[in-house]
Amino acid sequence: MTTSIRSAALSLALLPFALLPLAQPATLPAQDSAPPVQITVDAAHPGAALNPAMFGIFFEDINFGADGGLYPELVKNRSFEFPEPLTGWHETMGISPKGIEASRGELGIHTDSPLNPSNPHYLHVRVYSPGYSFYNTGFRGMGIESGAEYRFSAYVRTTGPKSTRATIGAISVTITDDAGHEIGRGELKSFNSQWTRYETIIRATATSPHARLNLILDEPGQLDLDMVSLFPVDTFKHRPNGLRKDLVQLLADMHPGFLRFPGGCIVEGRLLATRYRWKNSIGDIAQRKTIINRWNDEFDYRPAPDYFQSFGLGFYEYFQLAEDIGAQPLPILNCGMACQFNSDETAALDQLDEYIKDALDLIEFANGPVTSPWGKIRAQLGHPEPFHLTMIGVGNEQWGPRYVERYKLFAAKLKTQHPEIRLVVAAGPAPSGEPFNSLWATWRDLHADIVDEHYYMAPDWFLTNTGRYDHYDRSGPKVFAGEYAAQTVGTTSSENRNNWKGAIAEAAFMTGLERNGDVVQMASYAPLLANVEAWQWKPDAIWFDNLHSYGTPNYYVQRVFASNVGTRIVPVAPQAESGLFTSATLDERSHELIVKAINNTPVTRPATLQLNGLNPTGTIRVTTLASADLNAENSFDHPTAVSPESSSLEVKSGTIPVQLLPYSVNVYRIPVR
């Protein structure tokens, strides 16, 4: 604790705690209500400052979170760069009365004179007789909504002998629903022998969760195609190459303080060759080189052989997203190490310059003037104003002496050239033991800025570790709880649930993060997104299919906390006792005292908020997130079964009676003007 909190705690000790009830038994007797409890808030002695933006978002392209999720391209393998280059593409076989018809054409993958060197493969189509068609099945089908517009586009060139070039004058495009009924139609035409991009807008006439895109050629001849795309026109903020609206809205509604991107292990890659390289993720989407997604074959029980990264959602889009949802950007960069759980490949120290230069250039890309080389690129992409980058992660979930050696080289350059940028360093994959302890000792010695701790632990771990940071060194590095989630069955178990039991344990733990907000600068739940038909990892904050999405109880815990953080820590007692967990902050911006009380017991707890040094009058804004059933979950059918409810309470004094429902998260915003 800081000195101010210590002294505040001391002053608390002098308060009339004799009024507090005696400590309750660890397990409450089975009954419908419990004896009243007093929650004493030392409102007169606010302590250290905390980061009002401390609760943010961890984003990674796992569970089809980007391609097949937030990035709403509907065509899978639009650039034919998957190792099986026809993945996602199929010929339509006509059925004649005598059986399957002979094909009217053929598809091939060619590489001569490609669209560009980053996109070396393309589709070569030969049509023998009219009516030849083929289709793309999207990411487990395509989500199409009635009345919505979709931009179909492709690079096309005619090929073959001059005599045949002129014959293919058009491509008809249809969208068909699950039953094969046409629900949209368009056409591209007037091709020539040079790669040229064509587009048309298709308005859908019906909704389908598993539609497909058909390309139909009615004249014999040959064509080359690349970057075949079907993209919703209505993206978040109508941005071209923008993001899926419903998912971004869920993120924006969280009021996240920061956005960590692009991961996660995806930063590291299974091999260094498949690490995330931000420079390959910006500019013309046709130039962004597709590579394997690290989660493609990570888990035998959930193989995803069709999981690749198109980088359509790249660093420019991440920065733009952060800005759009009011979050500070926190990019995590590869430090010269591939995933240590996989290949453990490490770049030699004398090869690190490229990695460090990537970091320096990223700072210039985000913050540099438009006259600087990378600032100019940012401006050309449409954002002359800086993105206000203040932090960078060096490595993701690394550990060991090789990591520290590489960090030192990064820090030497970055701290000299950009002392304004705080560096986030890793504490390994687990929250205790080795390598956690030795890494922490090193970070203290090196005066690291922020240490990223990860905990994928059982709900009970969260409940019994709410005091984890009470005794952390206040003069050492700050903490970023960069990845955490209660694992209701076991870490990475496919049986894990996003149920209220896990979520309320996280809420209890987060009161400890908040009470120690002078040390814990940031925290983010992980992973964020999961496609219900293509996930690899459970639990996740938000689940979606091709058309719908919903926040889990865990999501709503994050949302309630991120939307209710003050600017100063206020002493509160009891902090963690008999299933009751509390925190309090003062919001100097809105002039409100914010008290959180989590009741993790099956009974209603009558409580009194005793505000020492404060006699508020007026209206308290109350948020309650509760379910008497610890197994409760949200679903597509009941997306808000466990979700916050707002109410208000009139107060006339600093003694405020409240009722804490069974298994509830309660937030009280009390005016202190």
Q: List phi, psi (to 5°) of 207.
A: -95, 140
Give 417 or 492: the residue with its C-beta nearer to ligand AHR: 492
Give 456 or 561: the residue with its C-beta nearer to ligand AHR: 456
* 397 has catalytic annotation: yes
Residue 531 CB, shortest distance to ligand AHR, in Å, is 15
Q: Which stretch binds ligand AHR (CB under 6 A): 118-126, 261-269, 353-361, 565-573?
A: 261-269
The token pair that represents 254 in the structure block? 């969280």
Give residues 548-577 in contact with ligand AHR (rule: CB under 6 A). Answer: none
Q: DSSP 3-state assignment of 356? A: helix
Q: Check binding of 293 to ligand AHR (CB under 6 A).
A: no
Residue 49 CB, shortest distance to ligand AHR, in Å, is 29
Closest CA to 10 of 586, 584, 573: 573
Q: Which stretch binds ligand AHR (CB under 6 A): 69-77, 201-209, 259-267, 603-611?
A: 259-267
CB atoms within 10 A of CB 112: 9
Q: Which of 61, 483, 514, 592 binds ligand AHR (CB under 6 A)?
A: 483
Please state, in angstroms and rounded to a whole number, the distance separating the CA atoms of residues 6 and 664.
29
Q: List phi, psi (to 5°) of 59.
A: -115, 135
Q: Check binding of 265 to ligand AHR (CB under 6 A).
A: yes
Residues 6+ apart with CB under 8 A from 29: none
Q: Which of 278, 407, 410, 537 binds ligand AHR (CB under 6 A)?
A: 537
Give 59 or 231: the residue with its C-beta nearer to ligand AHR: 59
Q: Check binding of 263 to ligand AHR (CB under 6 A).
A: yes
Q: DSSP 3-state assignment of 336? A: coil
Alpha helices in 215-352 (DSSP H): 245-253, 315-324
Pairing mode, strands 208-217 and 132-136 = antiparallel
Residue 538 CB, shortest distance to ligand AHR, in Å, is 11
Residue 312 CB, shortest distance to ligand AHR, in Å, is 20
Closest CA to 625 of 562, 572, 543: 562
Distances (CA, A) of 48 to 378, 519, 589: 38, 10, 15
Q: Which of 214, 310, 396, 643 binds ligand AHR (CB under 6 A)?
A: 396
The token pair that represents 3 in the structure block? 């000195």
Q: Check binding of 502 to ligand AHR (CB under 6 A).
A: no
Pairing mode, strands 520-525 and 576-577 = unpaired
Q: Which stretch binds ligand AHR (CB under 6 A): 46-54, 258-266, 378-386, 559-567?
A: 258-266
Residues 6+ apart with CB under 8 A from 414: 356, 359, 360, 363, 392, 394, 421, 423
Give 54 or 526: the residue with its C-beta nearer to ligand AHR: 526
Give 245 or 302: the residue with its C-beta nearer to ligand AHR: 302
Q: DSSP 3-state assignment of 478? A: strand
Residue 405 CB, shortest distance to ligand AHR, in Å, is 21
- C-beta separation of 146 from 206 below 8 A: yes
Instruction: Give the helix/strand (H/E) hosting 436.
Output: helix 436-445
Residue 198 CB, shortest distance to ligand AHR, in Å, is 38
Distances (CA, A) of 661 to 577, 597, 601: 16, 10, 9
Give 223 or 304: the residue with its C-beta nearer to ligand AHR: 304
Q: Which stretch binds ligand AHR (CB under 6 A): 176-184, 263-271, 282-290, 645-653?
A: 263-271
The token pair that represents 320 in the structure block? 């733009």
Q: Which stretch binds ligand AHR (CB under 6 A): 257-265, 298-306, 590-598, 619-627?
A: 257-265
Q: Check binding of 429 to ligand AHR (CB under 6 A).
A: yes
Q: Check binding of 452 to ligand AHR (CB under 6 A).
A: no
Q: Check binding of 150 to ligand AHR (CB under 6 A).
A: no
Residue 346 CB, shortest distance to ligand AHR, in Å, is 17
How many residues bind ligand AHR (CB under 6 A)? The answer is: 12
Strands (E), 254-385: 258-261, 291-292, 308-309, 328-333
Q: Check binding of 395 to ligand AHR (CB under 6 A).
A: no
Separation of first and last alpha carbons in the chain: 28
How many residues are listed for the chain in this entry? 673
Please state, in angstroms and rounded to a whole number, the distance separating the CA atoms of residues 578 and 282.
52
Give 307 or 374: the residue with its C-beta nearer to ligand AHR: 307
The 110-129 site mask, x for binding ligand AHR (CB under 6 A), equals --------------------
- C-beta separation of 651 from 617 below 8 A: yes
The token pair that represents 199 in the structure block? 């587009």
Give 136 or 488: the residue with its C-beta nearer to ligand AHR: 488
The token pair that represents 389 in the structure block? 């980058």
Please state, in angstroms and rounded to a whole number, the distance separating the CA atoms of residues 461 and 447.
29
Residue 476 CB, shortest distance to ligand AHR, in Å, is 23
Residue type, 303: P
Residue 540 CB, shortest distance to ligand AHR, in Å, is 9
Give 89 or 440: the residue with its C-beta nearer to ligand AHR: 440
SS3 of 195-229: CEEEEEEEECCCCEEEEEEEEEECCCEEEEEEEEE
Q: Which stretch binds ligand AHR (CB under 6 A): 89-97, 138-146, 189-197, 260-268?
A: 260-268
Pairing mode, strands 258-261 and 328-333 = parallel
Query: Per the residue annotation, which of 73, 81, 397, 506 is the catalytic one?
Result: 397
Residues 6+ apart with CB under 8 A from 348: none
Q: Which of 60, 81, 177, 306 binds ligand AHR (CB under 6 A)?
A: 60
CB atoms within 10 A of CB 447: 11
Give 60 or 177: the residue with its C-beta nearer to ligand AHR: 60
Give 254 or 660: the residue with its C-beta nearer to ligand AHR: 254
Q: Check binding of 529 to ligand AHR (CB under 6 A).
A: no
Residue closest to ligand AHR (Cβ): 264
Q: Which of 143, 428, 502, 527 binds ligand AHR (CB under 6 A)?
A: 527
Q: Which stretch binds ligand AHR (CB under 6 A): 226-234, 262-270, 305-313, 494-502?
A: 262-270
Please state, in angstroms and rounded to a whole number, the distance separating the CA atoms of residues 346 and 485.
29
Q: Check binding of 397 to ligand AHR (CB under 6 A).
A: yes
Q: Check binding of 56 to ligand AHR (CB under 6 A).
A: no
Report the interface residues with ligand AHR, using CB under 6 A. 60, 62, 263-265, 396-397, 429, 483, 526-527, 537
List active site positions: 397
